[in-house]
């Protein structure tokens, strides 16, 4: 029996989909590439934007077209908030109980009755998953937190994922130890990662200290994303003291204009955000700081957009993830008047992306002539690509084993790409 699996979402989704893949393999299934011949096709959906939802629907159609006799199982956020759109499948699972997907597939195989498993997410416990390794990537993801209590006005995720909850600290340590046996880098991930452990009286920084002490072979521990309000002095102190904590923080901004931030129901203003950014750089001068940004939020004027553009340059981000605002049904922003025209949203997004590219090149250029520890990932065309602690992409001459780390002299910036050579590699 063969299965394939497709993940369309965030790092949380990636962790969950790989955990489910491990369960299928433990049950005797053989994994194959999505789109190839298989008996079961599993799709992990995303609902964060209209584009993500559309891709989820497209993947269901693709699975049907490529393998008309296969059992199609669809899971995740899009299923949770809009199950009827994806109802014509054999197995439909929302945000909870994804570990039961192999059992649900077997249930359908035995009964021929489609399985629809949707649960009220508001009081769900943390669903523990786990695996020993990520087969197709150098770094490992470890989901330690789920859910969100923030309810930003544009966001559907609290409705799809439920309230905040965390993996028990001892369980995290066990999972981290297993992953550290096969990966040099672990990325801690969650829907609201920085709020880890509130129910256990444990902070994210305290958890990270335990991981680093318990997995001495681990060479890099990274935070996938963290809110500006959650970067406290304890975390900065740990980053300053232990070089194994990645020198990169992805800190969602969403807008560089206070009036827009208020409409978004974000828990900070630009002054507070900037002050914390400056504090971070005071402690860690070379750190890479990236951010998420939404353009064309309802009622956003050209003047507000210009304020955002100015603020991006002032913050000197290393790079940005920019998204045109996507209306999501059931959110508070849906009820706002003054929705921005699609072409205006796209134009503003393009302007912000141009700023991102400009800032990224400046940050990259600052690393020329310096050495950095690079995690090798993929080899192609005589180069091996990888990332530094600062999440800088570097291409290294030669073919090197994926998953290994090496000290690289960064020597060239060409067409927005950094190049380097291992310091112990002889000149040719």
Which pLDDT score, from 0 to 100, does residue 428 have?
A: 34
Q: How far, in Å, CA of 83 to CA of 381, rounded?
A: 43
Q: How far, in Å, CA of 191 to CA of 8, rounded?
A: 15
Q: Do 142 and 153 form a contact (C-beta atoms < 8 A)?
A: no
Residue whose C-alpha is closest to residue 363's, from 418, 298, 300: 418
Which pLDDT score, from 0 to 100, does residue 427 have?
A: 41
Tokens of 240: 């300053």
Q: Do 196 and 161 form a contact (C-beta atoms < 8 A)?
A: no
CATH of 371-422, one of 3.90.1520.10, 3.40.640.10, 2.40.50.140, 3.30.70.20: 2.40.50.140
Which pLDDT score, from 0 to 100, does residue 87 have?
A: 64
Say how far residue 201 (Cα) sits from the centre of its chain: 25
Name the CATH superfamily for 2-117. Answer: Methylthiotransferase, N-terminal domain (3.40.50.12160)
Which pLDDT score, from 0 to 100, does residue 123 have?
A: 76
Residue 312 has pLDDT above 50, yes or no: yes
Tokens 């998204």 locate to 323
For residue range 245-255, what is the model confidence (pLDDT) as tens digits? 999 999 999 99
Percent of the chain with pLDDT over 90: 93
Look over the chain and give the mean of its residue pLDDT values, rounded to a whole number.
Answer: 95
Q: Do 376 and 138 form a contact (C-beta atoms < 8 A)?
A: yes
Is 252-264+275-365 the same fold as 121-246? yes
Q: Do 81 and 156 form a contact (C-beta atoms < 8 A)?
A: yes
Which pLDDT score, from 0 to 100, does residue 122 have?
A: 73
Percent of the chain with pLDDT over 70: 99
| SS3 state of residue 162 | coil
Angle, CA of 333, 8 and 158, to the nearest 5°: 35
For residue range 2-32, what is the model confidence (pLDDT) as tens digits? 999 999 989 999 999 999 999 999 999 999 9
Q: How far, in Å, CA of 347 to CA of 343, rounded?
A: 6
Which band of pLDDT confidence, cut at 50, 70 and 90, is reported for residue 426? very low
Q: What CATH code would you report for 252-264+275-365?
A: 3.30.750.200
Q: Look up the pTM and report it.
A: 0.95
CA distances from 424 to 371, 390, 401, 427 (A): 12, 22, 16, 9
**Mean pLDDT within 272-295:** 98
Residue 415 has pLDDT above 50, yes or no: yes
Q: How far, in Å, CA of 15 to CA of 55, rounded?
A: 19
| Residue partners of 156: CB distance under 8 A and separation at least 6 | 47, 48, 77, 81, 328, 329, 330, 331
Radius of gyration of the chain (CA): 22
For residue range 369-380, what is the model confidence (pLDDT) as tens digits? 999 999 999 999
**Beta partners for 248?**
288
The DSSP call for residue 351 is H
Which pLDDT score, from 0 to 100, does residue 9 have?
A: 84
User: In CATH, what is the architecture of 121-246?
Assistant: 2-Layer Sandwich (3.30)
| Residue partners of 246: CB distance under 8 A and separation at least 6 | 185, 220, 221, 222, 223, 389, 390, 391
The DSSP call for residue 192 is S
Residue 54 has pLDDT above 60, yes or no: yes
Q: How far, in Å, CA of 147 to CA of 149, rounded?
A: 7
Which band of pLDDT confidence, cut at 50, 70 and 90, is reported for residue 88? confident
The structural domains of the chain, with segments of one domain joined by +, span 2-117, 121-246, 252-264+275-365, 371-422
Residue 329 has pLDDT above 80, yes or no: yes
DSSP H helical segments within 169-269, as ranges?
169-180, 204-214, 233-241, 258-264
Q: Do 374 and 348 form a contact (C-beta atoms < 8 A)?
A: no
Q: How far, in Å, CA of 337 to CA of 130, rounded?
A: 44
Q: Are strands 40-45 and 71-76 parallel, antiparallel or unpaired?
A: parallel
For residue range 127-184, what is the model confidence (pLDDT) as tens digits? 999 899 998 899 999 999 999 999 999 999 999 999 999 999 999 999 999 999 999 9
Tokens of 172: 């995290």
Longest alpha-carbon distance in the chain: 65
């Amino acid at each position: 029996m063969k299965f394939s699996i497709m993940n369309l979402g965030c790092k949380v989704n990636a962790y969950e989909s790989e955990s489910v893949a491990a369960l299928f393999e433990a049950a005797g299934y053989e994994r194959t590439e999505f789109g190839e011949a298989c008996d079961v096709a599993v799709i992990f959906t995303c609902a964060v934007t209209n584009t993500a939802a559309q891709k989820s629907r497209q993947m269901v159609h693709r699975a049907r077209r490529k393998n008309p006799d296969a059992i199609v199982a669809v899971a995740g956020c899009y299923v949770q908030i809009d199950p009827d759109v994806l109802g014509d499948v054999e197995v439909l699972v929302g945000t909870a109980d994804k570990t039961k997907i192999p059992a649900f597939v077997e249930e359908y195989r035995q009964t021929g009755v489609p399985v629809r498993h949707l649960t009220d997410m508001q009081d769900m416990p943390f669903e523990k998953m786990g695996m020993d390794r990520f087969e197709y990537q150098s770094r490992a993801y470890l989901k330690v937190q789920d859910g969100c209590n923030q309810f930003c006005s544009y966001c559907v995720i609290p409705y799809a994922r439920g309230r905040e909850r965390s993996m028990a600290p001892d369980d995290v340590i066990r999972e981290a130890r297993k992953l550290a046996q096969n990966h040099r880098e672990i990325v801690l991930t969650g829907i609201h990662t920085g709020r880890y452990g509130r129910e256990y009286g444990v902070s994210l920084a305290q958890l990270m200290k335990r991981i680093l002490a318990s997995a001495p072979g681990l060479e890099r521990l990274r935070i996938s994303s963290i809110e500006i309000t959650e970067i406290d002095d304890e975390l900065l102190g740990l980053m300053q003291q232990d070089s194994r904590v990645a020198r990169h923080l992805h800190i969602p901004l969403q807008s560089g204009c206070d009036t827009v931030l208020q409409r978004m129901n974000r828990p900070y203003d630009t002054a507070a955000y900037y002050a914390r950014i400056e504090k971070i750089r005071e402690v860690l001068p070379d750190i890479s700081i990236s951010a998420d940004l939404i353009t064309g939020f309802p009622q956003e004027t050209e003047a507000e957009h210009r304020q955002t553009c100015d603020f991006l340059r002032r913050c000197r981000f290393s790079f940005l993830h920019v998204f045109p605002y996507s209306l999501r049904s059931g959110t508070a922003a849906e009820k706002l008047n003054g929705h921005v025209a699609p072409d205006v949203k796209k134009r503003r997004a393009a302007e912000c992306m141009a700023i991102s590219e400009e800032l990224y090149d400046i940050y990259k250029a600052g690393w020329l002539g310096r050495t950095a520890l690079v995690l090798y990932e993929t080899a192609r065309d005589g180069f091996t690509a990888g990332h530094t602690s600062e999440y800088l992409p570097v291409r290294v001459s030669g073919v090197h084993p994926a998953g290994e780390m090496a000290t690289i002299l960064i020597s060239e910036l060409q067409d927005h790409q950094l190049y380097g050579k291992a310091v112990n590699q002889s000149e040719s």
